[in-house]
Amino acid sequence: MNDSATTSPTAPVIKTRRFRIVNPDCPLGLRIMAIANFVIGALGAGAVIAIGVAQDGRYGVLPPREVQAIDWRHYLMVLMRLACVMTIIFSGVGYLRLRRLQGWVLGNLYACIALTNTLLYALLLKEFGTSSLLWLPYPVLTLFFLNTTYLKAFSTSLGKPTE
């Protein structure tokens, strides 16, 4: 009996590229920073929405006198917070994928925007309290870790470290 006549030809093997969200070479500390970015980004998005609702006089969150006192400085602060939220979330994805532009550059950009936001908040709105102090350590730690501890993780080109 001929085996080739009874067996069907094997199906062609299709090689697919597996999509990975997390680069397997990503250090644990960067993964933790990415999760912190997502949490802080979600809290920041909620704050931007809450501030936007509070500044709109139709919902009665603020008294009409305070709504009329809102000027360009408040809108600038909302735009700066929105920029912080977007950069921190996108940089968290870049941390997981070890992408230099998306992770390292946006992470440093987030830290600079957040520190500038805190400084402008104190200078323009004359309000600097414990809530401002709570948001200061993470941008400083982000700058420190991205530019010292995890700089080598982002300085790879096609999987080969550059020195």
Tell whether 3 is covered by a domain: no
Quick check: is 11 in a domain?
Answer: no
Is 160 contained in some domain?
Answer: no
Residue whose structure tokens are 């062609």: 12
Amino acid at 113: I
At 160 the pLDDT is 45
What single letter denotes the amino acid at residue 24? P
Q: What is the mean pLDDT of residues 92-110?
A: 92
Is the pLDDT at 140 greater than 60? The verdict is yes
Nearest of 162, 139, 142, 137 to residue 152 by alpha carbon: 162
- Least Cα distance to 74 among 122, 124, 112, 123 occurs for 124
Q: How many domains does the chain have?
A: 1
For tokens 């993964």, the residue is 31
Mean pLDDT computed over 109-129? 84
Q: Is the pLDDT of residue 44 over 60?
A: yes
Residue 16, domain member (yes or no): no
Higher pLDDT, 45 or 155: 45
Q: What is the pLDDT of residues 67-91, one digit of tens each?
A: 666 677 778 888 888 999 999 999 9
Q: What is the DSSP letter of 145?
A: I
Which residues constitute the domain of residue 117? 27-155
